[in-house]
Amino acid sequence: MIRVNEHFLKLKAGYLFPEIGRRVSAFAQASPRADIIKLGIGDVTEPLPPAVVAAMHKAVDDMTTVAGFHGYGPEQGYGFLREAIVANDFKSRGADVAADEIFISDGAKCDTGNLQEIFGLDNVVAVTDPVYPVYVDTNVMAGRTGGNDGTGRYAKIVYMPCTADNEFVPELPEEPVDMIYLCYPNNPTGAVAAKEQLTKWVRYAIENKAVILYDAAYEAFIRDDSIPHSIYEIDGARKVAIEFRSFSKTAGFTGVRCAFTVVPKEVVAYTKSGGPQPLHPIWNRRHCTKFNGVSYITQRGAEAVYSPEGKRQNQAIIDLYMSNADVICQSLKRLGYQVYGGKHAPYVWLKTPEGIDSWSFFDVLLKRANVVCTPGAGFGAAGEGYVRLSAFNHPCRVQEAMERIAKL
């Protein structure tokens, strides 16, 4: 008799964003004249930068010739892209990362979800609360979390509350943990972590023989140079941290698909007998077995993100989204709402009015202002009482959304 993987039955009914999509579609069907403004899922709206488009066109032309044709590429990514990443994202900030420690992939969602496979099932997982749901759900699927307690929390996960009081950066856990998921700039709260805060975490991981899984997908939105873009700006991080990056939000690649993960050669996990085992060859083995690389055309497009004109064009797009974030923050503050984030991240974390839970406020915004947000409860118990507004939309639509909310 074929048996199902019962860990999947422990998951909440649907993944957060499809559930929001379902509710928005139902509303749109019932109110076909409603002009809905989407500030829910963090999906970019501006077209690809011209430098990226030109590089992709050229790569298509390469593929039409015998000399320029590319079949299967290296699973880990082409050297030209890995070298450009090292020079521009790491060396430029004094972070020590080598090109062969970079694994190009088709998305940080897949990488943050897949990487847990290389760790034993008896590791204790620590996540912030609220949290990007992928970290939790993929550990549930693997069988590392125990059962769901009915409030959406899992018995064996250590939740680290992120609240306005701790500026949405968690305290160190009281009990020992092994796999620590951190995301800065943070999805969903928009908070950032300072160098001293990350240094505490790196020290903790070294002392406790833990690993930090650091999601830096939103680093390009940081506007204050003193805030780390990479965990490898912290001394010792190469021993204990794996970092995830993405071209999705930084270069408009949500529909193109390209990201990368950094696995330094020093980072280890331990065998039952206590022997250190480097994770780089293990992730390499997993990656080569289950993944055939990102297309040549896409990687040439990603490489162009680092060209002088690519950088300039991209920065203009990021500035546009961050100016949206500013409009959202200022408008909501003027209306008396409490807002967080939005300064170094494309997300604004909005406290719902007294007595209104996050799904009810989602309904109010959808039905009365025809504006889509993401309910904080979808990111965990500590997200209750908040909603997330994304700055990814055209400036005129963001302005319009704010005017509608002002009329509520």
Q: How many residues bind ligand MLT, per CB under 6 A?
A: 5
Give me the count of residues in the chain. 408
41 binds ligand MLT (CB under 6 A): yes
What 3-state DSSP class applies to 125? strand
Site string for ligand MLT, 43-62 (x = CB under 6 A): x-------------------
Edge-first strand listing for the sheet containing 339-341? 339-341, 347-351, 386-390, 374-375
Q: Is 342 left (phi over 0), alpha (psi -120 to 50) or beta?
A: left
- Least distance from ligand MLT to the Cβ atom of residue 147, Å: 25
109 binds ligand MLT (CB under 6 A): yes
Tell me which stretch binds ligand MLT (CB under 6 A): 38-46, 80-88, 97-105, 236-244.
38-46
The answer to whether residues 36 and 235 touch, using CB atoms and an 8 Å cutoff, is: no
Q: What is the Cα–Cα distance from 279 to 231, expressed in whole angstroms?
A: 17
User: b/e map of 173-211 (b: 16 or more CB within 10 Å)?
Assistant: beeebbbbbbbbbbbbbbbbbeeebbbbbbebbeeeebb
Q: Which residue has the tokens 């083995």?
A: 285
Q: Give the nearer residue to ligand MLT in terms of CB position, either 109 or 280.
A: 109
Neighbours of 334 (CB within 10 A): 10
Write phi, then psi, for 189 (nearest 5 degrees).
-80, -15
Q: Give the nearer residue to ligand MLT in terms of CB position, either 43 or 106.
A: 43
- Least distance from ligand MLT to the Cβ atom of residue 42, Å: 3
- Least distance from ligand MLT to the Cβ atom of residue 347, Å: 8
Q: What is the Cα–Cα distance from 288 to 283, expressed in whole angstroms?
A: 8
Q: Give the nearer residue to ligand MLT in terms of CB position, either 39 or 279.
A: 39
Q: Which residue has the tokens 């690649």?
A: 253
- Least distance from ligand MLT to the Cβ atom of residue 53, Å: 22
Q: Give the nearer residue to ligand MLT in terms of CB position, either 230 or 250.
A: 250
Q: Give the nearer residue to ligand MLT in terms of CB position, either 132 or 296.
A: 132
Tell me which stretch binds ligand MLT (CB under 6 A): 37-45, 220-228, 268-276, 328-336.
37-45
Q: What is the Cα–Cα distance from 209 to 204, expressed in whole angstroms?
A: 8
Residue 274 tokens read as 């206590």
Q: Give the nearer residue to ligand MLT in terms of CB position, either 187 or 230.
A: 187
- Amino acid of residue 155: A
Site residues for ligand MLT, 160-199, by CB under 6 A, read 187
Tell me which stretch binds ligand MLT (CB under 6 A): 25-33, 40-48, 196-204, 279-287.
40-48
Q: Give the nearer residue to ligand MLT in terms of CB position, either 14 or 120.
A: 14
Q: Give the nearer residue to ligand MLT in terms of CB position, either 268 or 302.
A: 302
- Least distance from ligand MLT to the Cβ atom of residue 189, Å: 11
- Least distance from ligand MLT to the Cβ atom of residue 71, Å: 30
C-alpha 23: how far from its chain's center? 23
- Amino acid of residue 268: V
For every residue of 275-335, DSSP letters joined together read -EEESHHHHHHHHHHH-----HHHHHHHHHTTSHHHHHHHHHHHHHHHHHHHHHHHHHHHT
- Least distance from ligand MLT to the Cβ atom of residue 277, Å: 30
**CB neighbours of 59 closer than 8 A, spacing ≥ 6?**
296, 297, 300, 301
The answer to whether residues 324 and 393 touch, using CB atoms and an 8 Å cutoff, is: yes
Tell me which stretch binds ligand MLT (CB under 6 A): 41-49, 168-176, 225-233, 296-304.
41-49
Tell me which stretch binds ligand MLT (CB under 6 A): 36-44, 74-82, 87-95, 324-332.
36-44
Neighbours of 399 (CB within 10 A): 16
- Least distance from ligand MLT to the Cβ atom of residue 41, Å: 4
- Least distance from ligand MLT to the Cβ atom of residue 133, Å: 8
Q: Which residue is nearest to ligand MLT (CB)?
A: 42
Q: What is the Cα–Cα distance from 241 to 104, expressed in whole angstroms?
A: 17
- Least distance from ligand MLT to the Cβ atom of residue 92, Å: 25
Tell me which stretch binds ligand MLT (CB under 6 A): 35-43, 80-88, 157-165, 229-237.
35-43
42 binds ligand MLT (CB under 6 A): yes
Q: Tell me the torsion sign for CA atoms 33, 387, 390, 114.
A: negative
- Catalog residues that contact ligand MLT under the rule CB under 6 A: 41-43, 109, 187
